C-alpha cells in the first residue's frame, strides 16, 4: 500500500488521483472542541498540572488550532512555568532540588499566557487578533449592543438552540452612521466578547494593479476566516470595495466590479457549518451595491447614531475610567454642552484635558526643581506632594475651548 500526504491536494496531477493509483482520499480537517480536548490530554499526560487547570475550557477557547498548534501551546505553558521558577534553580548544581522539582506544576495562568501568544497556524500570515476591547470601553449604544449579542454571540455560544428551533443564524451585519461613532470599536468588542478570532480587512488594501490578484485576495481572506472559525470578518470602509456596479468609469478593467462579484459568491459559499460572521462598516450606505444587502448576506442593517446626552456621559466615563478626576468635574454638564458631538470628538476632549493636566504637572515640577536649586536649604515639606494630583474642572474648560464637531447636521 502506498500512502502519501499533502496540504495542497489541488496541486497534484490529476493522473495520480485516478482510480487504481491514489484512489482513496482522506481529508483530515481542523479538530473540533472534542478533538482538541483529546489532543490536549495526550500532550499533557506526562506534565504535572495544577488543580486549577481546566483542559475543557482551554479546548473550548482554542478555536481553529490544529494538533501542532496545541502541542506548541502546551510546551509554551510548561516553559512559562519553568521561567517563573528559574530563580529557585541553581544552574551550577548537577541536580535540581527535589522540593523545587515537585513545585513545578503548570497552572491555568501559564496556559492563559501561552494562549495569548499562540495563534492558529492557518492564520500565521494574517494578523488575527482577539481584541482586548470590552463592552465597558464603549459608552452608551445599549440597544445596539443587545442586538449584536443576539446576532453574533448567541450562534457562537449556543449553537444547539439554533439547531433545536431549526433556525439559520444571520451571516452578516452592516453598521452605518456618521464617522467617529464607534463602528469599528463595536466590531472589536463583539469579537472579544464571544472569544472569536477577529480578521480586520481595510477595503482599499484588497485592490491591486494585477489582473485577477484582487479576487484572489478576497478568496484568501475568506479561506482563512473559514479555517479559523468561529471568526468575525470585519470589512472597514466597505464603500471603497462594494460600490454599486457599473458606475465606475475608467476603472482598471472593472477590477472593483470583479471584487464585489467575488465577495458575493464567497458570502453565498459560507456553509451553515462554519461560524464565520461578516461585519461591514460604512458611512455611505447609499452607494453600496444592493446585492450585498439582500437577506442571507449583510441582511441586518444597524444604524449607529450620534450619541444622545446619556450616551455622551457614558462615553466620558468609559474614557476617563483609568484617569484620576477631581470631584468638581461635572460630566453630566459637559455631556449636556456637547450636543451633536460624535464619540471620537468626545474622546478628543478627554485626551486634551489629560494633556493639559500632564503639561501643568510637568511645568510645576520643573518650577519646583528650580526653586529648590535656588534655595540651598532643602524643602522637606512639599517633597511628596503631587502638584497636579488629578484632572480638574479648569482643564476641561480649557479643553472645551478647542473642541469642535466633526459631523455637521447635514451628515
- Please tell me whether residues 297 and 321 are part of one structural domain: no
* pLDDT at res. 378: 52
- Please tell me whether residues 258 and 143 are part of one structural domain: yes
List, for residues 105-141, the tens digit of each pLDDT value. Answer: 888 888 888 888 887 776 665 555 556 777 777 777 7
CB 204 within 8 A of CB 239: no
Measure the CA–CA gap between 288 and 140, rounded to whole angstroms.
27
Domain count, the chain: 3
Measure the CA–CA gap between 395 and 393, rounded to whole angstroms.
5
* pLDDT at res. 42: 92
323: helix, coil or strand?
coil
9: in domain: yes
Q: Is the dihedral of CA 9, 14, 16, 17 positive or negative?
A: positive
Measure the CA–CA gap between 139 and 106, rounded to whole angstroms.
38
28: in domain: yes
- Please tell me whether residues 4 and 72 are part of one structural domain: yes
Q: Which domain holds residue 107?
A: 1-124
- Please tell me whether residues 288 and 243 are part of one structural domain: yes
Tell me the mean pLDDT in the region 387-396. 80
DSSP string, 230-261: SEEEEEESGGGT-BPTT--TT-GGGHHHHHHH
* pLDDT at res. 313: 86
Tell me the mean pLDDT in the region 391-408. 81
CB 81 within 8 A of CB 105: yes
Amino acid at each position: 500500500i502506498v500512502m502519501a500526504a499533502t496540504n495542497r491536494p489541488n496541486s497534484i496531477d490529476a493522473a495520480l488521483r485516478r482510480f487504481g493509483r491514489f484512489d482513496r482520499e482522506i481529508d483530515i480537517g481542523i479538530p473540533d472542541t472534542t478533538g482538541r480536548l483529546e489532543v490536549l490530554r495526550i500532550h499533557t499526560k506526562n506534565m504535572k498540572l495544577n488543580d486549577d487547570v481546566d483542559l475543557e475550557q482551554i479546548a473550548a477557547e482554542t478555536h481553529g488550532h490544529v494538533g501542532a498548534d496545541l502541542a506548541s501551546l502546551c510546551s509554551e505553558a510548561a516553559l512559562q512555568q519553568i521561567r517563573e521558577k528559574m530563580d529557585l534553580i541553581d544552574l551550577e548544581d548537577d541536580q535540581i532540588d527535589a522540593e523545587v522539582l515537585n513545585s513545578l506544576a503548570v497552572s491555568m495562568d501559564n496556559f492563559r499566557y501561552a494562549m495569548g501568544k499562540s495563534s492558529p497556524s492557518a492564520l500565521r500570515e494574517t494578523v488575527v487578533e482577539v481584541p482586548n476591547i470590552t463592552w465597558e470601553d464603549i459608552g452608551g449604544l445599549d440597544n445596539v449592543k443587545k442586538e449584536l449579542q443576539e446576532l453574533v454571540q448567541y450562534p457562537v455560544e449556543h449553537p444547539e438552540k439554533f439547531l433545536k428551533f431549526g433556525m439559520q443564524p444571520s451571516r452578516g451585519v452592516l453598521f452605518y452612521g456618521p464617522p467617529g461613532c464607534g463602528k469599528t470599536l463595536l466590531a472589536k468588542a463583539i469579537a472579544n466578547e464571544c472569544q472569536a478570532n477577529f480578521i480586520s480587512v481595510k477595503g482599499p488594501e484588497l485592490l491591486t494593479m494585477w489582473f485577477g490578484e484582487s479576487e484572489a485576495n478576497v478568496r484568501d481572506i475568506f479561506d482563512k476566516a473559514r479555517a479559523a472559525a468561529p471568526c468575525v470578518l470585519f470589512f472597514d470602509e466597505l464603500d471603497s470595495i462594494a460600490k454599486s456596479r457599473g458606475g465606475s468609469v475608467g476603472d482598471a478593467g472593472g477590477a472593483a466590479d470583479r471584487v464585489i462579484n467575488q465577495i458575493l459568491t464567497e458570502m453565498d459559499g459560507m456553509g451553515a457549518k462554519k461560524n464565520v460572521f461578516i461585519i461591514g462598516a460604512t458611512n455611505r450606505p447609499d452607494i453600496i451595491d444592493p446585492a450585498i444587502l439582500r437577506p442571507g448576506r449583510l441582511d441586518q442593517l444597524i444604524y449607529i447614531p450620534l450619541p444622545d446626552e446619556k450616551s455622551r456621559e457614558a462615553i466620558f466615563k468609559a474614557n476617563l475610567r483609568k484617569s484620576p478626576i477631581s470631584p468638581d468635574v461635572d460630566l453630566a454638564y459637559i455631556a449636556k454642552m456637547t450636543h451633536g458631538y460624535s464619540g471620537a470628538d468626545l474622546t478628543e476632549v478627554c485626551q486634551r484635558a489629560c494633556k493639559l493636566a500632564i503639561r501643568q504637572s510637568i511645568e510645576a515640577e520643573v518650577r519646583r526643581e528650580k526653586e529648590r536649586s535656588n534655595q540651598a536649604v532643602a524643602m522637606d515639606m512639599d517633597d511628596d506632594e503631587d502638584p497636579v494630583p488629578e484632572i480638574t474642572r479648569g482643564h476641561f474648560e480649557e479643553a472645551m475651548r478647542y473642541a469642535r464637531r466633526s459631523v455637521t447636521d447635514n451628515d
